[in-house]
Amino acid sequence: MKIEIDQEKLRDISKIFDKYEDFRGTMWNSCRNLLKNKYELEAYSLILSTWNFARFRYVMKSLDINKFRKLIEDNEKIFKKLDKLTFESVDFKDSDLKDDIKTIYNSYRPIKGIEQTGTTKLMALRKPDLFVMWDTDIRKLYRINNKGTFEDYIKFLLKMKEIFKDIVWDNTDKPFAKVIDEFNYYKAHLETE
């Protein structure tokens, strides 16, 4: 599948996404504010409840909150190492970066209710200028195995770098990686409506 995109089309799709996802978009911003104010557990729980609700709702009563909190704390040490990195500036083939992504990804992915889709939501919430989210339909769009292993996610990020390599994103309201997610969501969910 060949996906073509230019700057103007990407801006237009981002505006459509904002109108379509008004509630969840507001929740996204609320979660970002919670993170900035050091309410990590609350931010991650809210994003999973609104952006990964199809899976997360089944485990809300059984999720071990203390283990989840510890996992967030452990991963925060890695996220701090990545703080200055952006989607535009990194090489996802870099072995040190891949190791850090692998550690984060493989720590959240096995958790029922989070899994491969929720993991990328958590990663993108914490680093919206670096990580691109995905879901089942986006994986299907790009013909990526729905099991969504770490290796699959790296392939996806590399594919995103290739597809969007000619775009120079200069809108400071939204990080480029977030806008790529909005484009993917539009292509996978809205374009066919």
Q: How far apart are the two ends of the chain, measured CA to CA in Å?
A: 19
Alpha-carbon separation of residue 87 from 136, 145, 160, 165 (angstroms): 22, 22, 9, 10
Report which of 174, 14, 183, 185 is spatially closest to residue 86, judged by C-alpha positions.
174
**pTM (2 d.p.):** 0.93
Residues 30, 169: Cα–Cα separation, whole Å:
24
- pLDDT for 6-35, tens place per residue? 888 888 888 888 887 778 778 899 999 999
Output the six-digit token pair for 41: 């557990």
- pLDDT for 108-152, tens place per residue? 999 999 999 999 999 999 999 999 999 999 999 999 999 999 999
Output the six-digit token pair for 67: 């283990």
